[in-house]
Amino acid sequence: MNAASTSTPTSISSTIRRKKGTSYVIPTILAVICLIMLLPIFNILAQSFSSAAAIGDQRVYLWPVEFTTSNYEAILGQTSIWRSFGVSAIITVAGTLIALAMTASLAYPLSRAEYRERKGVLTLVLVTMIFHAPLIPNYLLIKQLHMLDTLWALMLPGAISAFNLFVMRSFFLAIPGELIESARIDGAGELQTLWKIILPLAKPAMATMGIIYSVALWNNYANALYFLSERSLFPLQVKLREFIITDSSDLATTAADIANLSPEGLKMAVIVIATVPIMMVYPFLQKYFIKGMMLGSIKS
């Protein structure tokens, strides 16, 4: 751009910048912010492993007091929790597979120049990003499709997110057209090309999308609240809501049964149990999510 910049490599300029300003103000502020982010989580963990007496006397801060696993034992001893866990696992795994197949199978044709109707289809999708139908017509649709009180109601309505579709499409667009060309010269059909060449190349993208969809499926509870009334189908988040917020569950009786337990400790244990699966994939999540976010933000 200007004359000065050509003579100085950027690495040097950044070291100049680094040398100055060794203030500790900003790191300190950020450390405090990190504490605010993490303290609540530590407190919940500590309470879930503390005895009822210690919680009642307000002796628990960030470390378990009178360590016990009885809260977890009581929770995991309930069959209804395991059932909800199973429902959540099913909708997360099956729902993610459906979402990936649906998203990729629309995103790929839209990335090909030979697909003449892409403008029309892209407009069709864009409109849905701007106008959202109200809740009731959505509910009546699910009802008319006879999907009320089925797990389909939790998996199908979100099978394609328009935003993810655009991200996926830009992944596909980045694949050089020559590859498709040469595959065709070698005599591969469209499906073969897609399966053997495009999808293996798009693996990172598929992984990213898969994680995004599965977190959304695992964390969603609104759809279950809207579309399910059959208690045996309740996923973990709905169960969790009953436990922590409405208290209208077997929790109180469980706590009353076993003198040593407090409802608070039990609640904290349920929270931890519902969070553990997400936390186990958090390192992957962070890496892939950010990539997906960046790509999405650049393209849109």
Stretch that binds other proteins, among 76-84, 155-163, 198-206, 248-256 (CB under 8 A): 155-163
Token pair 């349920």: residue: 270
- Please, what sign has the CA dihedral across residues 55, 61, 63, 66? negative
Q: Which stretch binds other proteins (CB under 8 A): 72-80, 186-194, 200-208, 249-257?
A: 186-194
Q: How far is the CB of 232 from other proteins (least distance, A)?
A: 19
177 binds other proteins (CB under 8 A): yes
Distance CA(275)–CA(85), nearest Å, equals 11
Give the residue, chosen from 79, 187, 200, 203, that forms a contact with other proteins under the rule CB under 8 A: 187
Nearer to other proteins, 177 or 204 (CB): 177
36 binds other proteins (CB under 8 A): yes
Q: How far is the CB of 131 from other proteins (least distance, A)?
A: 6
Selected from 8, 232, 248, 260, the binder of other proteins by CB under 8 A is 8
Candidates 31-39, 63-71, 73-81, 198-206; binding stretch for other proteins (CB under 8 A): 31-39
Region near other proteins per CB under 8 A, out of 56-64, 69-77, 79-87, 202-210? 56-64
Distance of CA 111 to the CA centre of its chain: 25
CB nearer to other proteins: pick between 31 and 93: 31
Choose between 31 and 256: whose C-beta lies nearer to other proteins: 31
**Of the residues 79, 113, 253, 259, which one makes contact with other proteins according to CB under 8 A:** 113
Is 148 one of the binding residues for other proteins (CB under 8 A)?
Answer: no
201-240: contacts with other proteins (CB under 8 A):
215, 218-222, 225-226, 237, 240
Per residue, the 3-state secondary structure of the chain, as one string, reads CCHHHHHCCHHHHHHHHHHCCCCCHHHHHHHHHHHHHHHHHHHHHHHHCCCHHHHHCCCCCCCCCCCCCHHHHHHHCCHHHHHHHHHHHHHHHHHHHHHHHHHHHHHHHHHCCCCCCHHHHHHHHHHHHHCCCCHHHHHHHHHHCCCCCCCHHHHCCCCCCHHHHHHHHHHHHCCCHHHHHHHHHCCCCHHHHHHHHHHHHCHHHHHHHHHHHHHHHHHCCHHHHHHCCCHHHCCHHHHHHHHHHHCCCCHHHHHHHCCCCCHHHHHHHHHHHHHHHHHHCHHHHHHHHHHHHHHHHHHC
- Exactly one of 53, 93, 252, 290 binds other proteins (CB under 8 A); which one? 290
Residue numbers 249-278 binding other proteins by CB under 8 A:
264, 267-268, 270-271, 274-275, 278
Q: How far is the CB of 132 from other proteins (least distance, A)?
A: 6
The piece of 68-76, 77-85, 159-167, 196-204 that touches other proteins (CB under 8 A) is 159-167
